[in-house]
C-alpha cells in the first residue's frame, strides 16, 4: 500500500515536490492502541509542547492502560497536567476499552465512518480524535482530518489560498484513496508546523 500511495502522490502537481523532498512516509498502526488514543486526548486544543509535557508526566505517574488509568486517583491525573475535563475524557476512553474490548481486531471489519461513529459516542472524543485513531492507531489509508490546524495550514501553503473546510475536502479528493498519506505531507508543507510533526504523528 505504501509503495502504491507514494508512487501516486509523487505524480501530483501539488504534493509531488513534497514527496521528493521528504521521501516515502508511511502509515503504520500504533503498537499500543490505548496509549495512542490517550495521547490524542492530551493533544486536543493545546499546543504540541504542552501536550508533550503532559504526556511525559502522565506516563511517568501511572500505568497508561485502561486498568491503570481507572485505578489511578483522578488527582494524580490532574497533577500530571490533565484538566478536570480531560481527566474525565481519558477515564471515559479507558472504560470504553474495557467494556467493549476495543482493539485493532475489533474495528477491522468496520468502515471508517462506522469507526468514527462508535468512537465519537464516547464523551470527550470528537471527530478529530477519531480521525487520529483511524490514521495512527488503525492505519487506515484514506483519512482526511479536515479539522486539524496543521492540515489547514498545509493546504493553505500548498494551494496559496485560504480555503473553507468544504473547499479543502473537495481539493483533497485528488489524493483519494491515499489521503492519510497525503496528510503526512501536508503536515510538512508549512515550515511553522514541520518541526513539531513528530508530535502529531507518533508517541
Rounded mean pLDDT, 40-45: 90
Q: Which domain holds residue 45?
A: 33-126
Same domain, 53 and 11: no
Helical H runs in the chain? Answer: 2-10, 16-22, 33-42, 48-61, 66-71, 74-79, 84-100, 104-107, 112-119, 127-132, 149-159, 165-172, 179-186, 191-194, 197-201
Choose among 142, 146, 145, 190: nearest CA to 165: 146
Is residue 27 within 8 Å of residue 181, measured between CB atoms?
Answer: yes
CATH of residue 163: 1.10.1670.40
Phi/psi at 63 (5° precision): -80, 115
CATH of residue 111: 1.10.340.30
Using 50, 70 and 90 to split pLDDT, how confident is the model at 45?
confident
- How many domains are contained in the chain? 2
Model pLDDT for residues 95-105, shown as the tens digit of each residue: 999 999 999 99
How far apart CA 36 and CA 42 sit, in angstroms, is 10
How confident is the model at residue 200, as a pLDDT? 52
Using 50, 70 and 90 to split pLDDT, how confident is the model at 131?
very high
Same domain, 183 and 100: no
Same domain, 165 and 109: no
User: Is the bond preceding 168 in cis, omega lying within 30 degrees of 0?
Assistant: no
Using 50, 70 and 90 to split pLDDT, how confident is the model at 199?
very low
How far apart CA 187 and CA 149 sit, in angstroms, is 9
Model pLDDT for residues 49-96, shown as the tens digit of each residue: 888 999 999 999 999 999 999 999 999 999 999 999 999 999 999 999
Mean of pLDDT over the chain: 92
Residues 6+ apart with CB under 8 A from 120: 126, 127, 130
Same domain, 15 and 88: no
- For 36-53, letters b (16+ CB in 10 Å) and e give bbbbbbbbbeeebeebbe
How confident is the model at residue 193, as a pLDDT? 53
Is residue 189 within 8 Å of residue 18, measured between CB atoms?
Answer: yes
How confident is the model at residue 192, as a pLDDT? 56
Rounded mean pLDDT, 29-54: 91
Amino acid at each position: 500500500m505504501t509503495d502504491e500511495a507514494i508512487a501516486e502522490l509523487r505524480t501530483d502537481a501539488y504534493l509531488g515536490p513534497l514527496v521528493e523532498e521528504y521521501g516515502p512516509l508511511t502509515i503504520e498502526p500504533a503498537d499500543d492502541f490505548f496509549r495512542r488514543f490517550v495521547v490524542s486526548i492530551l493533544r486536543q486544543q493545546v499546543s504540541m509542547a504542552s501536550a508533550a509535557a503532559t504526556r511525559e508526566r502522565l506516563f511517568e505517574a501511572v500505568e497508561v492502560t485502561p486498568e491503570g488509568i481507572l485505578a489511578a486517583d483522578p488527582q494524580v491525573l490532574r497533577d500530571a497536567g490533565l484538566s478536570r475535563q480531560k481527566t474525565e475524557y481519558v477515564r471515559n476512553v479507558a472504560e470504553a476499552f474495557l467494556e467493549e474490548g476495543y482493539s485493532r481486531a475489533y474495528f477491522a471489519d468496520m468502515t471508517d465512518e462506522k469507526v468514527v461513529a462508535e468512537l465519537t459516542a464516547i464523551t470527550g472524543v470528537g471527530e478529530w480524535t477519531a480521525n487520529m485513531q483511524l490514521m495512527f492507531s488503525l492505519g487506515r489509508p484514506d483519512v482526511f482530518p479536515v479539522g486539524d490546524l496543521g492540515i489547514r495550514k498545509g493546504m493553505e501553503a500548498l494551494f496559496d489560498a485560504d480555503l473553507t473546510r468544504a473547499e479543502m475536502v473537495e481539493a483533497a479528493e485528488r489524493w483519494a484513496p491515499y489521503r492519510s498519506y497525503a496528510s503526512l505531507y501536508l503536515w510538512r508543507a508549512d515550515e511553522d508546523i514541520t518541526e513539531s510533526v513528530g508530535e502529531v504523528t507518533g508517541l
